[in-house]
Every structure is written in structure tokens, then in C-alpha cells.
Amino acid sequence: MPFSILFPDTYEGPRETPEAPDFFGDLNLDQVVDGITAGRDQYGLKPFFHTSLAGIDAVRYRQEVFRDLENRGVRGPVETFSQAMAAMRERLAQAEKLRYRYQKEAWFVDAVAVYGEAVAALARDLQSTDVASRGLAAFRAHITSYARSAAFTSLWRELQELQTALSTVRYCLLIKGKHIRVRKYESETDYSADVAQTFAKFRQGAVKSYRVNFPDWPQMNHVEAAVLDLVAKLYPDVFAWLDEYCEKHRDFLDETVARFDREIQFYLAYLEYIGTAGRAGLPFCYPQVSVASKAIHSRDGFDLALAEKLVAANVPVVVNDFHLQGRERILVVTGPNQGGKTTFARAFGQLHFLAAMGCPVPGREARLFLFDRLFTHFGTEEDMENLRGKLEDDLVRIHRILRRATPGSIIIMNEIFTSTTLEDAVFLGKEVMNRIMALDALCVCVTFIDELSSLSEKTVSMVGTVQPENPTVRTFKIIRKAADGLSYAVSIAEKYRLTYESLKGRLNP
Amino acid sequence: MKALLMHRDHDFDRQHELPFDAEALIQDLELNTLFNAMACGDRFLFEVAKVAVLSPSTDIDTIIYRQNILKDCLNNPSLVRNMYKIVIEAIESEKKNYWSIFVKHPEAILNRSVDVLGMLMGMLRKLRTVADEHAGKFGSAGFRAFFAMLQKDLDDEYFATVQNHLNYLKFHQGILIAAALGPGNKGTDYMLCRPPDRTPGWIERVFTRQPRYYTFTLDDRDEAGFRALAELRDRGLNPAADALARSADHILAFLAMLRAELAFYVGCLNLYDQLTAKTMPVSFPLPAPAGERRHSCRGLYDVGLALTMEEKVVPNDLSADGKRLVLITGANRGGKSTFLRSVGLAQLMMQCGMFVPAESFAANVCDGLFTHYQREEDPAMTSGKFDEELARMSAIVDHLRPGSLLLCNESFAATNEREGSEIAAQIVRALVEKGIKVFFVSHMYEFARGWYDRHMDYAVFLRAERQGDATRTFRIVEGEPLPTSFGRDLYDRIFVD
């Protein structure tokens, strides 16, 4: 394989996936990836963000590059380079679109100029920085030798001479009626300055400008083109040189440089995206990943999609911890509605997926499991129209998940079986949980059924909490403790003095 | 060029930010009556009067500068009104006779500007003629400098130079433009070239001197080509058109400034005419520095009341030099509010350079005038009335400086008298000790008596005069606070049955 900044040379897993994985919507990863790739459509990055890596080495390969790029001294030059490459592509596209020869050539020359500067600058800047990653070290070696190659240096030197020649071209037009005369410029001076000077004594401070902004679309009309042809006749040597240069350097673009420019966007886009949350004080970390151990933990993790919105609205983000140890495999989350349970489940899924892409993840520290597949099933409480149809649909989907899941998979279930009787829900819930426990897969299960939280040594109970002094206020903290669905109802009742004791006291005459 | 008829060294600021309590001042001092009298139905005059009156100057030199200009105006009213008319004619003529610049074609902008500049030059010539013929009749520093400027800056030679430019800008011999190659080899940096000399045939010489030139001629049926050619001309003329249009705007801005500054004096002339028609006296006040404590007048009356009442208003005298607190008590509807208003109005009029409605008036200038009146009703009221009063006072305190003047009318009366008195006493005491001059109208006996008994020599006590038979004279005289107000009288009068 040719050099890639995204995959180690020996990588054999899938590299790009056009379609988003099924769980993207449930985990709001579609929003995250939309946010990450916003403004970078030209690079076609989504197929990379749809693909989790198979193998710890590939994850580390990317983590190394990320770490290098967190150094401003490395990232700055790379960003500058990629902006220049975008500018170069715009110029080439423009040259393609235009009709008149000298115009096409001017845009082509501009593109080469931008490219030449970008390559020279990046080679120079990377030379003086420390890069520790395998990926960037290999690329640095490539661009250094390319920038020194005879092909590149002659391209670059001749271009600068040509540009100087073009910049000396000046001419005068005399427009009278339907005639335009063109000749070389002869140090004429600006008449509008004379005019302004004459009336300067009336100047009263700022007045509005009457300068008309002409649309500077790149095209020429045929009169401008005719004038340009006459200017070319006044300066024949300069324009002959221009023709020749463009012909000689038609294929100036280096293939590896071009691929690097696309692939490095994966890193830049992600770092830019998490930068917002980072500046708001939210932590990110490089997770340890493992395919062997299911003892996972995360400290101060959060839902990246939600954080992005809250930070924009200047609302504090609540972070949460989780961990599994020993034989624990399943987090069962209960607690009041709107208490952050679904957000917690999403964060769990996001952390694992982002880790499997080799990205830094939300949280202060994390050890995560490198899954083979990730499954989600998010029920909805709305659709009460066709209870039976809904339940059936739920079961069909869960069944399909369990058939495809392996012990190396992660399963996230949110509010399942809400559209049936409690008895059904308890029964079905236990059945499904038993199968997952038998599979030994990692799982998060958000449910209103307290019983599911203490089914075996594999389940861990986590509960959404409220403020003790005012039970109507959610803390959005999900903590590890026994499920106690009643305590919430009891505290609300006390607040309104409707508990048994309160009512006895109030009803006493 | 600047008119400098409002300040010795800078323009009148028509956009001057009004004091934060402008709305309260307008309401409490009934300033709109004054503005309307000055405006005589003209919106522009109204706005200028409003800004000028509500931007009181603390600089005595500026006040005297304007007083002298105003005296010239009172001596030459028709000349001043005539200059005002010329300026308006120029401004209106630009608006009416030339299409407004919405088009995006420099050539059209240029042609319009050449025409407008021609018209404006004519109007400026008229102004200079006034200066040539009548400058001798004006004695104020302001007018003398103004006329001298017109004669120096707008001499015949200048008018000739301008005419020369305007003639060339008709481009009878074609347009000569320079350009360079810009992005995409398109022309850029278009520049209109100065003609090397103006003798006939210069264009031919410019080109024949050159060893080489090429000509491109459009086909007569090439409509797109003629549009493109027009755009090329537009690009070349763009900077010159901009310079010309801006120049026209600068001249218009000069005229607009002159209009605004003259408008203030025209407003004063209007007011003067109305007051003299009612045989009400006016006089030029004597402003004293802010540090001094002066407040003396004879025959002070409320200009608003004088303008709206059929019968003659009652004038008052005051001698409060050296005083910081003027406490006014006495009968309801006895003229206390009118008196307080006349104090505020005279202060504002003095500090904007006007004459004042009094036979004589001398006072220190104040650094900020504020009014705190009990509000009859407040539609936006969310809290209690007393709350609202204190909130309003707190906002005023944020803006008070030593040397400010505060006029209180029945403040803090929205609670019981003991509380109101206590609060009023604490506030007033703090303010006068901090160098703020306070006029306080109150029927709160306890409050007024408290001050009286303390024999503070910085306080003076006034009372609405009442004659033995209980009829009001609406005159305010010095006197100690009396234990009751005269609501009883009022009741008896109204409930005659």
C-alpha cells in the first residue's frame, strides 16, 4: 500500500465505509460526525468516521498522530498547509472553467504558486519540530526529499521569475465612442486625487463611500479579452513564456502529498471539533484500549453531541463515571425521567466508538474495550398506537442483535419494552438480559424495571440522582448504587406534605 | 470649513447623546412647550432646539460666545433668516432636483456629482455675497470668523479652479485610463489619468508620441460589447466618481451643519418674537462658574406657562446666593411646581446660550440637571410606588456629580410622612454635603421643619404666599415652613356646596 497517515502500512481491515453504521442515529454520532466534518465536504471524510479500527496497533498509530498534532508547533504548519492546498484546488478548478487562454493560464500559474509555497513551508516547518508518531515521521521524510528534488525546485524558481514579469505589465486605455486604444503605461498620475484635493476644504469627517464594488467574477467579457490580447501584443515575450510554462508543468501535483492533504483532515477536523468543549474546560483523554480485558472504566466522561450544544449555550455539562470489574459486564441504569439516563448510555457508546477510531475521548481518563461490533436498540415512549406491533418490532430487532452479537460485542439498550404491561416487561427484560449475560458481552441497559439491576454478579446498578433538598431538581449525575425507584416518589410526596405521616398531622384537628 | 456658530472650535453635535433622564426632564419641565415655540411647526427646528437645550454647557466661554451671536441675530433677524433660507434651498435642491444615488454606475454617479457640485457652487457664492455686503453689521466673534472664512476660502480664484475641473470631467475628448494585470490576468488598479495639459489636441499627442499602440473598435451591433465597454469606463471612473460624490457630500455636510447651527438661533428668534408679542421680558443671564453658589433672579417666570396662558403669569424673585438647599413648602396649587419648573427651564436656557425668561438672572452653571418628581401614574410599574420612587432616585444618584442641580417635587410622598421625611432628610443631607444643589418642593412638614430648626446657613426656605383671605397669589416668598398645607382651602373651594 502507498503511504497513509491514517493506517499503518500493514493494516488489513476495511479503510472506508460509505454508509453510517446502524447505531449512529441512536448514539447521536451522526450529529457528532456532521459537526466534525462540517466545512470539509471536499475531503469526503465521513467514510473514515464510519469505520472503527480492527486492531490495537492501528488505534495506537492514530493516537500517536493525534498527540503530535496537539502540539501547536506541528499542527499549525499542517493547518496552514491544508488551507493552502484548498486554495490551490480552487484555482485549478477555476482555470478549468474559464474560456480565454491567458486567463486559464493565469489561474493555473496561481495554483502552482500556492502549491509551491505550501510544500516549501511545510517541509521547512516540519524539519524543525519534534514528531514522535510513526505516521508523521514517515511523511516528514517524504516531503523533505520531495521539496529538495530537482522537479520541485525548478518548477518553483521559474514560476517566481514568470510572476515578476507579469506584474510589470501596465497599460493605458483611451476610450472614446466605440474605439479603445491600448498602449504601454507612461507614468501618468491619478486625476481623482486632484479632484479630492480641490474639495478637501469642505471635508466634515466621514461620509459614505460611493465606490462601486464591481462583481469580480473570474470570467472576462469579450471586450476585456480583446484588450488583453492587445496587451499581449504589446508584451509578446512575457505572454509566450506564460504559454510555455503552463504546457511544461501540467502534472505538477505529487500523489503522496495530495493523499496526505486529504487524510490529515481526519485529525484536524476532530481536534477542531473537540477544541470547543476543551476550551470550556471539559477533559479529553487517550484511552487505553484492550481486546482481552472487559474491566473498563471512565472518569468524567460525557456525551459529546450534547456537550457541543450545552457549551454553545453556555450551560454547564455534567460528567459521569463508570467502571466494570471482575465478572461485571452490564450497567443497568434506573432513576427519574429526564435524569440523564439516556445521555449516560449514549456517552458509553460514543466513548467506545471514538476509542475504536483511534481518537481521544471525552473524560479525564479511560480504559475501554475494543469491540468487534456495537449494537444499539433505543425504544421510544411515544408510538402507543399499535402496542402489539411495537412490541413485536422491539423483539424482532433485539433478536437480530443477539443473533449477530459475539462475546466481543457491545450492546446498548435504552427504554425497551415500555410499550407493554409491567409483567411482560419484567419477563421479557429478564429473558433478554439472561441471554446477554450468557453471551458475556458488554452492555448498558436503561430501564424502569428495578429488578433487572440485580439479576446476577454480572449486573451493576446505576441510578440517576436528584437534589436531596429539592427532589424535583435533577443533578444528571448517574451513580453506582442500588435501584430505589420509590425513594424519588417518597421525597416528592414529602415536599408537598402528602406522605402518610404528613397527612396524619395535617388531618388532625 | 466649519461654521462654528455653536462652539468656538468644534461642530455642534446634533447626535449628541441626551442626558439619561432626558425623558424625565422633558416631562417634568414641560420642555416640549418651549421646543414647539422655537420650532413654529418646523420639525427640524424642533429637533435642534431639543438637542441644544438638553445639552447644557458648563463652559462659561461657550455660553457667552453663543449669547453674543444671539445678540447679533436679534439685531439682524432678517439677514440671519435669509442665510438660513439659502442653506435650506441648497440642501432641498440637491434632494429634489437630482435623482438619488442608488445606481451602481460610476459614470452616472460622476455625471450627477458634476451637476450637483455646479449647483452647490452657486449657493456658496450667494452666501459669500451676504458676507461681502453685510459682514460689518455683525459684532460677535462667531459671526465675524464665519464671514471671514467665507471670503477667504471661497474666493473667485477657487470658484474658477472648480469650474475647470467640472468642465474637464465632461470628457469631450475621451477617457484616459491606466490599468495593470490582476488575478487571472484581468485588468486591475484602474486609474483615471490626469490630462498632461489642456491645450487642444493633447490626446492625439499623448498617443502619437508612443512608438506602438493598438486599436480595438466595437461593431455597431455588438450590444453586449457596448455594455462591456461601459463597464470598463465605469471601472476607470470609479475612484474619481467616488471622490466627486464624496466632495458633494462634504459640501452638503458643511451646509447641513450650518443649517443646524443657524437653526438654533432661528429657534431663539422665533421664541423671542412670541415672548415680546406678549410683552414678557427676557434678559441675557450671568453665568457663574460651577464652583460658586449663585442663584439670584428678578421677575423669573415659567416660559412654558407664559406661552400657553392667556393672562399674565406671576413672576418670582429669588436670592439664594451661597445656598445649596432651597426648600419650598406651602399651599397646594400655590405656584410651587410652576416656580420649580421656571428654575429648571431658566437653568437649561442659560446653559445652552439663550436668553432667559426673567428681568435678571444670575446663577452658577450646574454639572447636570436632574428632576425627581412624584409620578402620578406609571404604566410600566411593576413594584410599589414608593419602591419605584427609590429606584428612580437611585438611578439619578448614579449620575450625580458635585455641582449637579437636583429638583425634587413632592419626592418620597408615596409613603407615610414620617418614613418619607426620614428618607428624604437622609438623602438630601448626603447630597448637599456632597456639593449638589437641591431645590425641594414638599408638603412634608416634618421634613421641612427639621431643616429649618437646624439653622443651616446653606439652606433657604420659601413658601407659597397666602393672603389672609386664603386666596393664592401664586407668588413664592421666603418664609418658614408652616405646619399644614392648604389642602383644606382647596377642598372648601371645590366643595362649595
Q: Of A7-11, A156-160, A420-424, B230-234, give the lowest mean pLDDT range.
A: A420-424
Report the residue of chain B nearest A213, measured CA to CA. B104
Q: pLDDT digit string (tens) for B270-314?
A: 999 999 999 999 999 999 998 899 999 999 999 999 998 888 888
Collapsing DSSP to helix, strand or coil, A187 comes out as coil
Question: Cβ contact (<8 Å) for A178 and B1?
Answer: no
Question: Cβ contact (<8 Å) for A190 and B234?
Answer: no
What average pLDDT does the segment A211-229 reach? 87
User: Would an 8 Å CB–CB cutoff place B64 in contact with chain A?
Assistant: no
Q: Grade residue A485 by pLDDT with cuts at 50, 70 and 90.
A: low
User: Would an 8 Å CB–CB cutoff place B151 in contact with chain A?
Assistant: no
Q: Residues of A numbered 150-169 whose beta carbons fall under 8 angstroms of chain B's beta carbons: which are they?
A: 166-167, 169
Q: pLDDT digit string (tens) for A439-467?
A: 999 999 998 788 899 999 999 999 988 77
User: Would an 8 Å CB–CB cutoff place A245 in contact with chain B?
Assistant: no
Question: Cβ contact (<8 Å) for B181 and A220?
Answer: no
Report the pLDDT value the prediction gives residue A494, as an integer from 0 to 100: 52
Residue B12 forms part of a structural domain: no
pLDDT at A503 over 50: no
Of A103, A177, A210, the CB nearest to B241: A210
Residue B483 forms part of a structural domain: yes
Q: Grade residue B333 by pLDDT with cuts at 50, 70 and 90.
A: low
Give the number of other Cβ atoms within 10 Å of residue B276's Cβ: 12
Residue B152 forms part of a structural domain: yes
Report the residue of chain B nearest A194, measured CA to CA. B194
Report the pLDDT value the prediction gives residue A418, as an integer from 0 to 100: 66
Q: Grade residue A385 by pLDDT with cuts at 50, 70 and 90.
A: very low
Question: Cβ contact (<8 Å) for B247 and A166?
Answer: no
Residue B337 forms part of a structural domain: yes
User: Would an 8 Å CB–CB cutoff place A199 in contact with chain B?
Assistant: yes
Residue B239 forms part of a structural domain: no
Task: Please indicate whether residue B173 or residue B137 has the higher confidence score (pLDDT).
Answer: B137
Q: Residues of B numbered 107-146 whose beta carbons fall under 8 angstroms of chain A's beta carbons: which are they?
A: 109, 117
User: Would an 8 Å CB–CB cutoff place A180 in contact with chain B?
Assistant: yes
Mean pLDDT of all residues belonging to chain A: 88
- In the beta sheet, which residues pair with residue A368? A289
Mean pLDDT of all residues belonging to chain B: 86
Q: Grade residue B380 by pLDDT with cuts at 50, 70 and 90.
A: very low
Q: pLDDT digit string (tens) for A182-217?
A: 999 988 889 988 888 888 888 877 778 888 888 878
Q: pLDDT digit string (tens) for B44-77?
A: 999 999 999 999 999 999 999 999 999 999 999 9
What average pLDDT does the segment B16-22 reach? 90
Q: Are residues B358 and B486 in the same domain?
A: yes
pLDDT at B414 over 80: no
Of A175, A192, A220, the CB nearest to B243: A192
- Min Cα–Cα distance to chain A from B85, Å: 20
Task: Please indicate whether residue A508 or residue A120 has the higher confidence score (pLDDT).
Answer: A120
User: Would an 8 Å CB–CB cutoff place B487 in contact with chain A?
Assistant: no
Q: Given the cut 0.90, state whether the ipTM is greater than it.
A: no
pLDDT at B354 over 90: yes
Q: Of A279-288, B167-176, B331-340, give the lowest mean pLDDT range.
A: B331-340
Percent of chain B residues topping a pLDDT of 90 = 54
Q: Are residues B201 and B100 in the same domain?
A: no
Q: pLDDT digit string (tens) for B456-493?
A: 888 999 988 766 556 667 788 888 887 654 434 444 55
What's the CATH number where B488 sits? 3.40.50.300
Report the residue of chain B nearest A221, measured CA to CA. B228
Q: What is the pTM of this model?
A: 0.60
pLDDT at A66 over 70: yes
What average pLDDT does the segment A401-412 reach? 94
Task: Report the range out of A45-54, B210-219, B334-343 with the highest average pLDDT.
Answer: A45-54
Q: Residues of B numbered 250-269 whose beta carbons fall under 8 angstroms of chain A's beta carbons: which are they?
A: 250-251, 253-254, 257
Report the pLDDT value the prediction gives residue A509, as an integer from 0 to 100: 42
The total of structural domains in chain B comes to 3
Question: Cβ contact (<8 Å) for A202 and B251?
Answer: yes
What average pLDDT does the segment B382-401 reach? 71
Size of interface A-B (CB pairs under 8 A): 217
What average pLDDT does the segment A125-140 reach? 94
Q: Are residues B388 and B479 in the same domain?
A: yes
Separation of alpha carbons A389 and B7, rounded Å? 85
Interface mutation target, options B12, B186, B205, chain A, most CBs of A under 10 Å: B186
User: Would an 8 Å CB–CB cutoff place B245 in contact with chain A?
Assistant: yes
A208-212: list long-range contacts, CB under 8 Å, 24+ apart: A208/B249, A209/B242, A209/B246, A210/B101, A210/B106, A210/B109, A210/B241, A210/B242, A210/B245, A210/B246, A211/B238, A211/B239, A211/B242, A212/B104, A212/B105, A212/B106, A212/B109, A212/B234, A212/B238, A212/B241
Q: Grade residue A382 by pLDDT with cuts at 50, 70 and 90.
A: very low
Question: Cβ contact (<8 Å) for B250 and A203?
Answer: yes
Identify which of A99, A182, A241 has the alpha carbon closest to the alpha carbon of residue B187: A182
Q: Are residues B38 and B82 in the same domain?
A: yes
Task: Report the range out of A300-309, B191-200, B436-445 with the highest average pLDDT.
Answer: A300-309
Percent of chain A residues topping a pLDDT of 70 = 90
User: Would an 8 Å CB–CB cutoff place A188 in contact with chain B?
Assistant: yes
Strands (E), A149-232: 170-176, 179-184
Question: Cβ contact (<8 Å) for B179 and A173?
Answer: yes
What average pLDDT does the segment B113-127 reach? 93
Q: Are residues B122 and B201 in the same domain?
A: no
Q: Are residues B183 and B151 in the same domain?
A: no
Q: Grade residue B425 by pLDDT with cuts at 50, 70 and 90.
A: confident
Report the pLDDT value the prediction gives residue A456, as an integer from 0 to 100: 92
Task: Please indicate whether residue A413 or residue A469 has the higher confidence score (pLDDT).
Answer: A413
Report the pLDDT value the prediction gives residue B426, as an integer from 0 to 100: 80
Q: Are residues B132 and B183 in the same domain?
A: no
Q: Grade residue B382 by pLDDT with cuts at 50, 70 and 90.
A: very low
Chain A residues near residue B104 by CB distance under 8 angstroms:
212
Report the residue of chain B nearest A164, measured CA to CA. B181
Q: Grade residue B211 by pLDDT with cuts at 50, 70 and 90.
A: low
Question: Cβ contact (<8 Å) for A196 and B186?
Answer: no
Residue B447 forms part of a structural domain: yes
Domains of chain A (ranges, CATH numbers): 22-166+251-264 (no CATH), 283-507 (3.40.50.300)
The amino acid at residue B238 is: N
Q: Which residues contact A55 (CB under 8 A, 6 or more apart)?
A: A11, A13
Report the pLDDT value the prediction gives residue B497, as an integer from 0 to 100: 46
Identify which of B354, B368, B355, B371 has the alpha carbon closest to the alpha carbon of residue B299: B355
pLDDT at B188 over 60: yes
Q: Of A465-469, B173-177, B277-281, B324-328, give the lowest mean pLDDT range.
A: A465-469
Report the pLDDT value the prediction gives residue B429, as an integer from 0 to 100: 81
Q: Of A312-321, B31-40, B163-172, give the lowest mean pLDDT range.
A: B163-172
Task: Please indicate whether residue B234 or residue B474 has the higher confidence score (pLDDT).
Answer: B234
Collapsing DSSP to helix, strand or coil, A285 comes out as strand
Collapsing DSSP to helix, strand or coil, A204 comes out as coil
- Min Cα–Cα distance to chain B from A41, Å: 26
Of A175, A181, A212, the CB nearest to B238: A212
Report the pLDDT value the prediction gives residue B255, as an integer from 0 to 100: 94
Give the number of other Cβ atoms within 10 Å of residue A19's Cβ: 9
Chain A residues near residue B109 by CB distance under 8 angstroms:
210, 212
pLDDT at B377 over 80: no
Percent of chain A residues topping a pLDDT of 90 = 69
Residue B216 forms part of a structural domain: yes
User: Would an 8 Å CB–CB cutoff place A223 in contact with chain B?
Assistant: yes
Residue B9 forms part of a structural domain: no
pLDDT at A410 over 90: yes
Report the residue of chain B nearest A239, measured CA to CA. B185
Chain B residues near residue A162 by CB distance under 8 angstroms:
none
Edge-first strand order for the sheet with B214-217 is B187-192, B175-181, A170-176, A179-184, B214-217
Of B180, B185, B203, the CB nearest to A106: B185
Q: Are residues B181 and B307 in the same domain?
A: no
Domain range for B86 = 22-170+250-277
Q: Are residues B356 and B442 in the same domain?
A: yes
Q: Which three cell numbers stand for residue B458?
A: 446653606
Task: Please indicate whether residue A57 or residue A202 has the higher confidence score (pLDDT).
Answer: A57
Q: Are residues B382 and B471 in the same domain?
A: yes
Q: Are residues B150 and B47 in the same domain?
A: yes
**Dihedral Cα B464, B467, B469, B474, nearest 10 deg:** -50
Task: Please indicate whether residue B107 or residue B390 has the higher confidence score (pLDDT).
Answer: B107
Report the residue of chain B nearest A242, measured CA to CA. B185
Q: Are residues B290 and B273 in the same domain?
A: no
Residues A298, A322 contacting (CB under 8 angstroms) = yes
Report the pLDDT value the prediction gives residue A502, as an integer from 0 to 100: 47
